[in-house]
Amino acid sequence: MIIGLIYDMLFLIPFAIAVSSLLPIAGEEVSGPVFVAFSAAAAVVIAVIRHVKLREKVLIAGTAAIVLLAVILYHPRAERIDFLASHIWIAEAALSAAAAAIICYLAERYRVLKTAAALAGTAMLIGFAAFSVSLSKITVCAVFAYTLIVFADTVQHRSVKEGGRGDGEHLVSVSPFIIVIVIASALLWTPKKPYDWGFVRSITESVMGSVAKINDRLSGKGWDSDTPFIGFSDRAGFGSSLTGIGYKVMDIKTSKAADPYLYLTGRVYDSFDGQNWDYTREYGEEERNLETAETVSALVGSDGEVSKALALTVDLTLEQDSYGTDQFLPSKCIPGTLKHKSGTEVSYYKLNVNSPEFAPLLESGHEPDKSEWSEASEALGISGGGFAYEDYEAYRDDVYEDYLPKTPISEKTKEYMDGVLEGASSDYEKLSRIEAMLKSFSYTESPGTLPETIKGSADFLDYLIFEKKEGYCSYFATAFVLLARAYDIPARYVQGYRTETDGKMHTEVMSVDAHAWPEAYIAGIGWLPFEPTPGMRGIFAAPAWKTPGESGGSPYKGPENIGDAAETEGDAGEHDAADEKPFDWKKIAVPVIFVVMFALLIFMADGILKKKRYARMDERLKALYLCRQCMILLKRRGLARGESETLSEYVIRVEDKVPPGFLDFGTLYEKILYSGMEVSADERMKLEENLELIRKSGKHMLHLRIANS
């Protein structure tokens, strides 16, 4: 019976769990796992009922009914309907278990149903996964468990073997292995996103990067090559396509969260001939410092310090992984902070360009006067030695001279751009519109070779804006610079690296992060980078930060608040004490009493029915019944007959272990079974005495067994 019960449960429990986990839960809110667990428990009860005798079936059903009735009756009449409505999920769980049981029992009879159910479940899972329908893990595991069980059962059923005791016992005895598989699968990691194969990708990128590096070195290509790989070359050109194999070129560590989109300037170009960029002035530390000082002059507050609402100082350490001798630095490097130790160390100003405080600075176009310049110098801790106001004025003039050459554009381009820039009130707004316009084009890594007919800025702009409408960063950076210059805004073409730090303090810069971008000069603020490349974000897309004290968080609960909290807790305590009621033991005791009475009733009824049945039997059937009862009692006392053991062998084997007279029934039993002899009333009465002897023997047999052992 136990084997049969476990065999049934192996199919029924996962099936019931699968069915119940798919159903919407009716009534009062109850958690999914509780609902499913209840359904599984109901399935177990159904399985047990199926395998026990009628008496036990009635007992279980009766007990359940009594308990249910007791629970309902204990609620006041007015609340009973609501109580039932809110607990309707119990009935739902029981019904789903019953439905699962019916299907399982039908499948037992018609084996093809089992296979069909397993296949249907698996198909359902595949369908749900394909259409991205969310399923709980328990459903999935239950369906797979059922499928695995059915598969194991089918394999066993189809095999022709000698020595087995039936499919049921086999499946029960190997089920622990199947259960281990299912439980392990259920406990293991199942993220919501598809697996990104990060480790495979990183290994692949690492290997391919190493190959690309070696290839570059062997072929002499690299930083100074004129490959179209963004071009770190003396002459920044346009290639037909970009090479995409990446490898790490540097590590960046910052003292605080760096710019989300960090630009590291490598080389600055000022002149364009239609095909290539070139530089006529050396961009070095002096110029860099003056740029920073100009920007700082707009950021210094009344306290003589750079306002933290506008800019934060970030310490940056850069370790280059490659052989490049070029220096890559963020813009707005703080003068005097550049050091070369294990790597390049520098501090720079991270600008809060999207903050409301910064916006007026972008629009005003106010150039610093002498005092403002002096303040900036003081804030930076520098003075004299190239930082005089006169030096700034000379620098500013050079900016307009070198970065604002005459840039002719075609009529067509002008007409188009006039439309784009119509109404723009400031240089910043113009630049933003140019950026937006270029961002509307398409990004491609293989735009093809730049036509040789392009001889100047006008040709280039016409080609890009009206014909090509796609390209990579160099195209868009070039177009931005040319358009800015065409509208009297100094601009320059910069090559370096652009990396997305995600606000982290450690970032790896890869070779594919090499980038070209435009920088435009806004009077009073200085140079600012823009990002016209479609799909990329620049500093103007970075979220603004709030300075400490402006976060608007909850006020600190100081010691003066503790009393209030304590007061409140005390009140709550008093309130709970007032509400507390003594536990009503009647709710447990009455149903238990009823159950016990019911059980006694059932046992009594069973006893009466058995007696009546016995009375109606003829002598032979009575004798058989009595002999079987003797065997059952002996089995309960640990003296079961072996499978292939005859009665005579059994008697011989066991007679030393039992008191005299116990096995007197053996000979008669054998005769009744094999010879079909009739039994007299005297013989039957002797069997009844034998049975009575065994029944009363209990302790005596225990002593005998201990003595024999």
Partner 1 sequence: MNKRKLLILIAVFALSLVGISLRGGPVPYVFFWLTLLVPAVCALYILFVMIFLKIYQRSDGRTMVCGTPTDFYITLNNESPFSFSSVRIKFYSSFSTVTGLDDGCVYELPPHSSLTRMTPLLCRYRGEYLVGIKEMIISDFLNLFSFRYRIKEPLSVIVAPANIRLETLRYLEEHPDADRDSLKDRPRPDIPVREYVAGDDTHLIHWKASAVMGKLMVRERTGTEKSGIAIIMEASRYSDKPEDYLPAENRVIESVLALAFYYMGNGVPVDVIYYSGRAVTVPVRTPGDYERLYEAMRGYFFGDEGNTVRLLDELQQEMCWQYSIIIPVLIRFSAREHDLIGRMNVAHVPVRVYLADDNADAAGETGGIEVIPVGTKAPTEDVL
Given candidates 33, 82, 159, 614, which one binds partner 1 under the rule CB under 8 A?
A: 159
For residues 157 and 586, which CB has a smaller minimum distance to partner 1 in the complex?
Answer: 157
Put residue 163 in one of left, alpha, beta given phi > 0 → left and psi -120 to 50 → alpha. Answer: left
Taking alpha carbons only, the member of 175, 200, 172, 544 closest to residue 351 is 544
Q: At what angle do helices 137-158 and 32-51 cross, to 10 degrees?
A: 30
Cα–Cα distance measured from residue 443 to residue 476, given in angstroms and rounded to the nearest whole number: 9
For residues 134 and 280, which CB has a smaller minimum distance to partner 1 in the complex?
Answer: 134
581 belongs to the binding site for partner 1 (CB under 8 A): no
Compute how many residues bind partner 1; rule: CB under 8 A: 46
Region binding partner 1 by CB under 8 A among candidate stretches 169-177, 519-527, 531-539, 592-600: 169-177
Cα–Cα distance measured from residue 651 to residue 674, given in angstroms and rounded to the nearest whole number: 16
Given candidates 144, 328, 395, 475, which one binds partner 1 under the rule CB under 8 A?
A: 144
Cα–Cα distance measured from residue 657 to residue 698, given in angstroms and rounded to the nearest whole number: 13
195 belongs to the binding site for partner 1 (CB under 8 A): yes
For residues 195 and 556, which CB has a smaller minimum distance to partner 1 in the complex?
Answer: 195
For residues 23 and 178, which CB has a smaller minimum distance to partner 1 in the complex?
Answer: 178
Given candidates 170, 213, 332, 350, which one binds partner 1 under the rule CB under 8 A?
A: 170
Given candidates 64, 186, 404, 536, which one binds partner 1 under the rule CB under 8 A?
A: 186
Given candidates 24, 76, 176, 535, which one binds partner 1 under the rule CB under 8 A?
A: 176
Given candidates 61, 85, 155, 211, which one binds partner 1 under the rule CB under 8 A?
A: 155
For residues 130 and 707, which CB has a smaller minimum distance to partner 1 in the complex?
Answer: 130
Given candidates 68, 173, 415, 448, which one binds partner 1 under the rule CB under 8 A?
A: 173
163 belongs to the binding site for partner 1 (CB under 8 A): yes
Q: Which of residues 455-514 bind partner 1 (CB under 8 A)?
A: none
Given candidates 16, 93, 152, 380, which one binds partner 1 under the rule CB under 8 A?
A: 152
- Say which residues have a Cβ less than 8 Å from residue 90's Cβ, sequence separation at least 6: 38
Taking alpha carbons only, the member of 153, 135, 134 closest to residue 145 is 153
What are residue 261's DSSP bridge partners? 500
CB of 192 to partner 1, least distance (A): 5
644 belongs to the binding site for partner 1 (CB under 8 A): no
Measured in whole angstroms, the distance separating CA 388 from the mean position of its chain's CA atoms is 58
Query: Cβ of 547: how many Cβ atoms within 10 Å?
Result: 14
677 belongs to the binding site for partner 1 (CB under 8 A): no
CB of 638 to partner 1, least distance (A): 16
- Residue-by-residue DSSP string for 53-73: -HHHHHHHHHHHHHHHHHHHH
Region binding partner 1 by CB under 8 A among candidate stretches 34-42, 49-57, 148-156, 480-488: 148-156
For residues 159 and 646, which CB has a smaller minimum distance to partner 1 in the complex?
Answer: 159
528's enclosing H/E stretch is: strand 526-529
- Residue-by-residue DSSP string for 243-288: -----EEEEEEESS---SEEEEEEEEE-EE-SS-EE-SS---HHHH
Given candidates 165, 217, 504, 557, which one binds partner 1 under the rule CB under 8 A?
A: 165
Radius of gyration of the chain (CA): 45
Region binding partner 1 by CB under 8 A among candidate stretches 17-25, 157-165, 360-368, 533-541: 157-165
444 belongs to the binding site for partner 1 (CB under 8 A): no
For residues 26 and 124, which CB has a smaller minimum distance to partner 1 in the complex?
Answer: 124
Cα–Cα distance measured from residue 534 to residue 546, given in angstroms and rounded to the nearest whole number: 29
367 belongs to the binding site for partner 1 (CB under 8 A): no
Given candidates 74, 83, 105, 151, which one binds partner 1 under the rule CB under 8 A?
A: 151
Q: Which of residues 118-137 bind partner 1 (CB under 8 A)?
A: 125-126, 128-130, 132, 134-137
Q: At what angle do helices 285-299 and 370-380 cross, to 10 degrees?
A: 110
202 belongs to the binding site for partner 1 (CB under 8 A): no
Region binding partner 1 by CB under 8 A among candidate stretches 16-24, 168-176, 236-244, 277-285: 168-176
Region binding partner 1 by CB under 8 A among candidate stretches 24-32, 191-199, 271-279, 568-576: 191-199
Tokens of 422: 């119509």
Region binding partner 1 by CB under 8 A among candidate stretches 97-105, 158-166, 267-275, 348-356: 158-166
Taking alpha carbons only, the member of 317, 16, 291, 278 closest to residue 139 is 16
- Say which residues have a Cβ less than 8 Å from residue 594's Cβ, sequence separation at least 6: 66, 70
Give the HSE-up count for residue 419: Cα atoms under 13 Å, Cβ half-sphere. 6
180 belongs to the binding site for partner 1 (CB under 8 A): yes
Q: At what angle do helices 586-616 and 54-74 cross, to 10 degrees?
A: 150
Put residue 27 in one of left, alpha, beta given phi > 0 → left and psi -120 to 50 → alpha. Answer: left
Cα–Cα distance measured from residue 569 to residue 47, given in angstroms and rounded to the nearest whole number: 51
Residue 465 is which amino acid? Answer: I
Tokens of 174: 């190997």
Region binding partner 1 by CB under 8 A among candidate stretches 90-98, 194-202, 447-455, 513-521: 194-202
The residue assigned the tokens 């916006």 is 359
CB of 635 to partner 1, least distance (A): 17
141 belongs to the binding site for partner 1 (CB under 8 A): yes
Given candidates 162, 303, 411, 452, which one binds partner 1 under the rule CB under 8 A?
A: 162
Q: If you count them, how many residues does the chain have?
A: 709
Region binding partner 1 by CB under 8 A among candidate stretches 138-146, 376-384, 508-516, 669-677: 138-146
- Say which residues have a Cβ less than 8 Å from residue 362's Cβ, sequence separation at least 6: 353, 426, 428, 522, 525
Given candidates 26, 88, 115, 156, which one binds partner 1 under the rule CB under 8 A?
A: 156
Given candidates 26, 60, 115, 169, which one binds partner 1 under the rule CB under 8 A?
A: 169
Q: What are phi and psi of 491, to 5 degrees?
A: -150, 155
Binding mask 68-107 for partner 1 (x = CB under 8 A): ----------------------------------------
Given candidates 1, 2, 189, 220, which one binds partner 1 under the rule CB under 8 A?
A: 189
Q: Are 314 and 254 in contact (CB under 8 A)?
A: yes
140 belongs to the binding site for partner 1 (CB under 8 A): yes
- Cα separations (Å) of 319 from 45, 205, 249, 252? 69, 20, 9, 7
Residues engaged in binding partner 1 (CB under 8 A): 125-126, 128-130, 132, 134-137, 139-141, 144, 148, 151-152, 155-156, 159-165, 169-170, 173-174, 176-177, 180-181, 184-186, 188-195, 197
